[in-house]
Structure 1
Amino acid sequence: MSTRRTRDAGAVPRSRRLAIASIVAAACLVTAGVVAVGAHTASAQDTVAAAGARSSAGRPERAGDLGARRAQVVSGAVGTAAPGAVRFAYAGDSITARPDSWLHALESDPAVHAVGGYARSGARSDEVSAEVGSVPDAEVLVVEVGTNDVNQAVPTTDTLRSVDAIVRRVGAARVLVVAGPPSDRTTSQWGADRRAGQLVLTAALRRDAEDHGWSFVDPFVPFRAADGGWVSGTTPDGIHPSAAASEVIGRTMAEAITRTAH
């Protein structure tokens, strides 16, 4: 009996062993730089959880990707309407959803007013299509999607089908399609050349708009270098426009929305 008591007294309880094992495993994941982004909710910015999970494509997310992968979500009306403002809806990804995006730059613009829509950073066009709803009060629908399709090597034909679906779901009388932005990235974890893909996407979106009788705008012209990347000093991460660039993009968008409405 005394021998058994001595052995039991020196043993580590099972619950404590499991806790120690969990801590060691977590430390290994952090050391490897592997993190995961938690599922999004309908808020301006979701909490990012560091855990050893994998992306939707089965590839690990790394710490350096967190800034681009944090989910910013915008839905519903944005800003306050001024008398006579053109009412528009929006459907987009991070180019539209980020806090310093063109959409937020227009919050105080008396010429236009966002009355509804859906945009989420990291969203593919099919995901935007699944989330956006009807906006019956909108005179114009602004469609800004495809950046994440390019990143994830989604065929352009699939993106165009999603654009058509977005237009049907929102039901606005007029449609304004937005070009793809520049990109300083020539690779992605899905094996895509993001810079070349954005140029292909923009050409396809322009043709699709022409075929449907929709309006088209490329607000990124002043910021797109000859090689399809961003002009130096106009992007913080090689993917998104800077806050100053977004202000200029917002003015271009306001003019395009107004022209489309009339």
Structure 2
Amino acid sequence: MRPRHIVTVASLVAALVAVPAVVVLASHPVVTTTATAEAARIAAAQIRELRHTPNQVLTGVVGADVRGAVTFAYAGDSITARPGSWLRDLASDPTGSGTGVHALGGYAHSGYRSDQVLARMPAVPGADVLVVELGTNDVNQGVPTDRIVRTIDTLVERQGTPHVLLVAAPPSNHTTSLWGVDRRTGNRVLDRALATDAHAHGWSYADPFAGDREPDDSWAPGTTADGIHPTTAANVRIAGAFATAIRTASGSSGTGAPAVSETAVSDTTVTTR
């Protein structure tokens, strides 16, 4: 009988010791479930935002082919693709004589990151300048700056155009995103990285939005309706700045005379080496 008694006592002790362990372990699924539910909610909101982005795409030749115009390829997001964009404004000139530039092709898609545009960017033979207006959607989705720059470098390498123009991220009135980043601050960091990258490669860098940008990198009053994109009126000015930047990047002043190297348009908006 003694062995049975020992076994019974041992079983009772084991059961008592196991009770708190069971309670502690039981609390973990609750915490995990709560965290998982929150992550799922955020992920669903992110998906809704991406799906809400208009499916605006621009590709192929844009605008009139004018003798002597500087030819360029474009890679962009909604700033380039959406109705009333700088590129569509340039194309609205029936003769192209007012801009001196002509888009031979490229790819721009609203809401796309740089890697998504890279995957769909066609070769654009004959273009003198490659205009890269990308990165702000990457910033919004928390993509590291160095990865954005590497993607853009890959895009440039694949195109092999004689001249390259990297464009600053536009102003932003948004300081938060569903991906947990400060979009405005992220754009500012990206701009510095793009300027540095352009300088390192001997490319051009431009900020066509400088005239509509506040000191804190928000949009100037009256120049945006959604805090992200410029208004139609603002885009007219921005289109002119793009055209000037493209001509400068190509080494052409747009008047038939060569542009001076080490030049800046508006001192800070366009730089060339």
Matched, 1:190 2:174: no
Provide the residue aligned with 2:145 in structure 1: 156
Cα distance per residue 1:41-67 (max 9 Å; x no partner): xxxxxxxxxxxxx99x8332598x589
Cα distance per residue 1:130-189 (max 9 Å; x no partner): 110211110000000001011001000000011111112222110000001100000000
Q: Which of 119, 126, 131 is equivalent to 1:130?
A: 119
- Superposed, 1:1-262 pairs within 5 Å as 58-60=43-45, 65=49, 69-107=53-91, 108=93, 109-110=96-97, 111-262=100-251
How far apart, in 1, do the equivalents of 2:125 and 2:162 lie? 9
Tell whether the 8 Å contact from 1:134 to 1:171 is kept in structure 2 after alignment: no
Q: Which runs of 4+ in 1 moved over 3 A?
A: 65-68
How far apart, in 2, do the equivalents of 1:167 and 1:68 lie? 30
How far apart, in 2, do the equivalents of 1:68 and 1:188 lie? 15
Gap runs ≥5 in structure 1: 1-53
Amino acid at match of 2:74: Y
Change (3 A) 1:155 1:61: closer
CA shift at 1:198, angstroms? 0.8
CA shift at 1:203, angstroms? 0.7
Tell whether the 8 Å contact from 2:45 to 2:178 is kept in structure 1 after alignment: no
Equivalences, count:
207
3-state SS, counterpart of residue 81 of structure 1: coil
Cα distance per residue 1:206-241 (max 9 Å; x no partner): 000000100010011111112111111000100011
How far apart, in 2, do the equivalents of 1:68 and 1:233 lie? 24
Please state which structure has a larger fraction of its residues in helix: 2
How far apart, in 1, do the equivalents of 2:150 and 2:75 lie? 14
Gap runs ≥5 in structure 2: 1-39, 252-273
Cα distance per residue 1:49-91 (max 9 Å; x no partner): xxxxx99x8332598x589711210111011111111110000
How far apart, in 2, do the equivalents of 1:216 and 1:151 lie? 21
Change (3 A) 1:69 1:157: same
3-state SS, counterpart of residue 44 of structure 2: coil
3-state SS, counterpart of residue 43 of structure 2: coil
Amino acid at match of 1:91: A
How far apart, in 1, do the equivalents of 2:177 and 2:135 lie? 15
Amino acid at match of 1:92: G
CA shift at 1:259, angstroms? 1.2
How far apart, in 1, do the equivalents of 2:205 and 2:67 lie? 26
CA shift at 1:120, angstroms? 0.3
TM-score scaled by structure 1? 0.75
